[in-house]
Amino acid sequence: MENDWEAGKFSLLGVKIHPVQKQDLLDFIVQSCRDKQQRILAGANAYAMNLAYELPWYKQFMNDSDMVYCDGIGVKWAAAMVGKSIPARLTHLDWVFDLFRLCEKHQLSLYLLGGTEKNAALAKLKMLADYPGIPAVYSQHGYFDKSRDSAENKAVVDRINAAEPDVIFICFGMPLQERWLIENWKHLNIGIAIPGGATIDYISGEVERVDAFFVNYQIEWLGRLFREPKRLWKRYLIGNPLFLLRVIIHEVLGL
């Protein structure tokens, strides 16, 4: 029987999208852990969609993921352009703290992989202080040799497997975190894997979410651009229009 969250699945530029709400996403994570299912939860935003358009392996990763939710307003707009409705744009900060409370309730362990050594350590301390009911919280910074067969990578994989976490966030940034997950997936003894971008930096408190004005009007990308113009100008000022143009050409006009 098809899962409820699979029912409305559609394809956008060859990438599957699940039009889910926050509760659907949270239920999916908890149920996957309780059923001992090893799954991947992936987010689709304009940057991810551009990567999928340009990199066949990345598109394959998205389509192999068990749930692909809308992680950016651009994807929500693009879906509307082709007659599809996405009920919610869900960035990590819209739902991770709800997830942590559920980890307490359902006794799910958590692994935070990525960030600087300082931020990874701070994130773990923050989690232990704010969510003492989580049975176990582990962290590992992201500054190690990620080559599949390197000694450092093998040691990190061994530490993850020794912990056997129910939920693991991989926060190396796109597309590095997805490439690492592909290369190590068959060797990981985990529950659900979630590519997390800068989630660890936010949890640590070293990076704050942009002003509520940008969040409430669903233009968080603009707030991030104002904060980090040198790093993000190409992603947003070129990448966002390029993504929408690709949707118009290939999905709307059918060229």
**Token pair of 233, please?**
């100008």
The residue written with tokens 């991030």 in the block is 224
| 86, 106: one domain | no
Is 228 domain-assigned?
A: no
More confident position, 16 or 8: 16
Distance of alpha carbon 253 from alpha carbon 191, whole angstroms: 41
pLDDT, average across residues 201-224: 89
Same-domain status, 128 and 170: yes
pTM > 0.85: yes or no: yes
pLDDT level of residue 60 (50, 70, 90 thresholds)? very high
Residue 227 lies in a domain: no
- Asked, for residue 216, whether it belongs to a domain, the answer is no
For residue 139, the enclosing domain spans 91-208
Are residues 185 and 97 part of one domain?
A: yes
CATH number assigned to the domain comprising residue 140: 3.40.50
Q: Provide the domain count of the chain.
A: 2
- pLDDT per residue as tens digits for the range 161-189: 999 999 999 999 999 999 999 999 999 99
Q: Does 139 lie in the same domain as 44?
A: no
